[in-house]
Structure 1
Amino acid sequence: MKLLHWFSLSLCVCVNAENNVVWRESGENVTLRCSSAGCSSSIEGYDGMYLYHDHKERRQVLYYHLNEGGTDQITLTPSFKDRTQAGGSLKNLTATISKLTVKDSGFYSCVFLKFKGRDVQCSVYTLFVRGAAQCSNSTEALCALCDEKSPSLVLIIVAACTIGTLLTIIFILLVVPRVRRWTSSRRSMAGVLHQVSNDNVYEVMTKNAAETALVGPHDCA
């Protein structure tokens, strides 16, 4: 079951090119950067930005917005306020979270938004914090990822990506040529059948014309 969770998470990391994987030990710090450079589209005209943490549920880490005076303001949620330092502008904001624990492991995403409801997700991070933790059944997989005694997830990620690449190469080298040959043979067979059909029609028409010529007008009378 643990290997299944590892493979699933590895696949998510592999297919997401914008995902930045970060490893830390318990008690260390991590700095996450929310930058417009990590967005797939322009954020011109956007009004604010959320930094979210997704583990068992989505939690807000901070909210960047403009106050009534039009100046920048960063609001930290209570669970991160005492151990998070944040600063910068809307297009380039950094947040440093200190005294990390296993519970801080998960996905972090920067979501830029407009007040009219439009938003765009940028700069996605996957944070693994290694250390001991009490795990329930629902969090066993994530704790196992962060346990120092568990196998290295880096090797599993590399293996998953390598296997995926090899399967793609095998498919291209073996399956695709066979499909092409089958398609080509079907076309060739269809051409042969069409030619045989035309020849039969021509032979019947020729035979009928010859019989008509032999009978002649006097025979008909």
Structure 2
Amino acid sequence: MSAVWLKLITLLTILSCPALSGPVSSEVVWRALGEAVTIQCRPSKPDQEYLSLKKGLSEEHDVLYKEGNPEKNTIYKEFMGRLQLNGVFPNVDILIKNLTSNDTGPYWCVYKKFDLVSSKNLEMKGTGSVLLVVTGGPQQHSACVPPDDNLFLVIVIFAALLLGIIMCFLIWIILKTITTKKRTKKTQRHVTTSDVYEDMRGTIRR
């Protein structure tokens, strides 16, 4: 079930592909289980000192940390033995092999450089970031198009359920508003009738 939700969330992210585009080049890459993907990280500005490959919408997972001079690599546990690096820093091609469903998600090329003025590491995203989708079926290449009919059907059902919930909520609000208005009118009528009754009693006594 968790795998279905993972695909569902990923596909909803893919449907907003324009949000992943912009000054940083990115693309959607489809791969099957056990295949490999190459992420080509390139800096937007020269003279960068460090490269981090991060995973997740908020860049919450570290995949690789690479220093430019001297060249040192730190590969994190989840990707140990599955990562292969090619190229000369800062232009680095990162090959991830034996893909699993847990590898699905966005990958970001983040470069760092120490700034003498602020005495801080300044970060900037490089080109080459990708949104990786690992499926259980044969490899399919696409751009913002679901790779299988079953997954598309799940999305349609989810959208229909969401629309139904919204419609029921709106109907409930409308009915509640109408009921409240009717109660208010009845209360006003009751108050008016009581005033007339009191006035007539006063007249009879005179």
TM-score range normalised by the length of the shorter chain: 0.5 to 0.7
* Paired residue total: 169
Report the RMSD for the aligned CA atoms in angstroms. Answer: 4.6
Residue 168 of structure 1 pairs with residue 159 of structure 2: no
Query: Does the C-alpha gap of structure 1 residues 119 and 179 become closer, same or farther in structure 2, counting only changes over 3 Å?
Result: farther
Query: 2:93 matched to which residue of 1?
Result: 95
Match of 2:132 among 115, 126, 130: 126
Question: Who is 2:117 aligned against?
Answer: none
CA distance in 2, matches of 1:170, 1:195: 37
Counterparts in 2 of 1:136-175, with a 5 A limit? 146=136, 154-172=148-166, 174-175=167-168
Listed one character per residue, the Cα deviations across residues 28-59 of structure 1 (whole Å, up to 9, x for unaligned) are 6522255899xxxxxxxx985422469xxx98
Work out whether residues 53 and 107 of structure 1, in 8 Å CA contact, stay in contact via their aligned partners in 2.
Answer: no
Residue 162 of structure 1: CA displacement? 1.4
Instruction: Determine if the alignment matches structure 1 residue 7 to structure 2 residue 9.
Output: no
* CA separation of 1:88 and 1:170: change in aligned 2, threshold 3 A: farther
Q: Which has the higher helix share?
A: 1
- 8 Å CA contact 2:33, 2:100 repeated in 1: no
| Counterpart AA for 2:9 | C
Q: How does 1:1-221 map onto structure 2 within 5 Å?
A: 4-16=1-13, 17=16, 18=20, 20-24=28-32, 26=34, 29-33=36-40, 48-52=50-54, 61-65=63-67, 67=69, 75=73, 77=75, 79-80=81-82, 83-85=84-86, 95-97=93-95, 100-102=97-99, 106-107=103-104, 109-110=107-108, 112=110, 123=129, 125-128=131-134, 146=136, 154-172=148-166, 174-212=167-205, 214=206
Query: Identity over the aligned pairs, expressed in percent?
Result: 12
Q: Radius of gyration: which is bigger?
A: 1
- Structure-2-length-normalised TM-score: 0.55
Structure 1 residue 13: Cα displacement: 0.8
8 Å CA contact retained: 1:88, 1:94? yes
Q: With structure 1 as the length reference, what TM-score do the two structures score? A: 0.52
Paired with 1:118 and 1:11, the residues of 2 have a C-alpha distance of 35
CA contact (8 A) 1:74 1:87 kept: no
Partner-residue secondary structure (3-state), 1:192:
helix
| Amino acid paired to 1:12 | I
Q: Distance in 1 between matches of 2:177 and 2:5?
A: 39
Displacement, 1:9? 1.7
Kindly provide the amino acid, as one letter, of the partner of residue 156 in structure 2.
T
Residue 178 of structure 1: how far off its partner (Å)? 1.9
SS at match of 2:149: helix
3-state SS of paired residue (2:190):
helix
